[in-house]
Amino acid sequence: MIRVLLVDDHAVMRAGFRMILEAEDDITVVGEAGTGTAAVAAASELHPDVICMDVQMPDMDGLEATRRIVADPAVASAVVIVTTFDRDDYLFQGLSAGASGFLLKNAGPEDLVAAVRVAAAGDALLAPAVTRRVIERFAGTSDPIGAAEPAPPASGIAVDLTDRESEVLRLLAQAYSNGEIAKELFIGEATVKTHVSNLLQKLGARDRVAAVVYAHRHGLA
């Protein structure tokens, strides 16, 4: 069962999200919060698998709340930014803060459900259009997404990656999910997760977003 915390300063919005998510057999909403401060406290208390996080809220915005939640080693929750505003600054700041995905509130109910499942599975919710925006902003510059991008290995680019890890990295850079990578390479999802974990460690990358930027910047995509 995927345990979800809903964070939004509008009770009606939270009620709508709850209705959509709890209609699914594998998802349950374990709590709600109306401010960033309340979100940080609820995450620490409830340890949800996924947090659906609004951006504009009183007291503390969702970006700062995400940053604090992700920085807390005792909380292993994936955060999906859910906002009304399709703004690049929200997207990039959210990814820098450690969010696992970015979803607009005008998305369909099925998109919200899919976002929660993707984040719970440990994948990054990067639709191809979002991936392109990230790459266009950062791949041609020396500026990483906050502290997200790894430094190049001292002895060369991705020199320690196995052939299979390099294949997985190329597919990550094309916004493939773990399930899609498994189908493409004819391997199990558990094996894909192992490869992703290994290549992130070797690259010194904090998350999949950093690996994607790294791959495009160094011609590995």
Least confident of 63-77, 92-106, 134-148: 134-148
Q: Residue 213 corresponds to which tokens in the numbers above? A: 């930027």
Least confident of 39-43, 87-91, 159-163, 217-221: 217-221
**Domains detected in the chain:** 2-125 (3.40.50.2300), 143-217 (1.10.10.10)
**Is 144's pLDDT higher than 50?**
no
Sheet order of strands, 101-104 included: 27-33, 2-7, 50-53, 78-83, 101-104
Question: pLDDT per residue over 79-137, tens digit each?
Answer: 999 988 777 778 778 877 888 888 888 888 998 999 999 889 877 766 555 666 666 66
- DSSP conformation letters of 57-86: -SSS-HHHHHHHHHH-TT---EEEEEES--
Least confident of 102-106, 120-124, 167-171, 187-191: 120-124
Query: Does 59 or 212 have the greater pLDDT score?
Result: 59
**Is 145's pLDDT higher than 60?**
no
Stretch 175-203: mean pLDDT:
88
Those residues whose C-beta lies under 8 Å from the C-beta of residue 129, and which sit 6 or more positions away, are none
Query: Does 150 or 102 have the greater pLDDT score?
Result: 102
Those residues whose C-beta lies under 8 Å from the C-beta of residue 53, and which sit 6 or more positions away, are 7, 39, 62, 65, 66, 79, 80, 81, 82, 99
In sign, the C-alpha dihedral spanning 81, 85, 91, 97 is: negative
Stretch 160-166: mean pLDDT:
90
Stretch 192-207: mean pLDDT:
86
Q: Give the separation between CA 80 and CA 104, rounded to whole angstroms.
A: 10
- DSSP conformation letters of 13-32: HHHHHHHHHTTSTTEEEEEE
Question: pLDDT per residue over 5-42, tens digit each?
Answer: 999 999 999 999 999 999 999 999 999 999 999 999 99
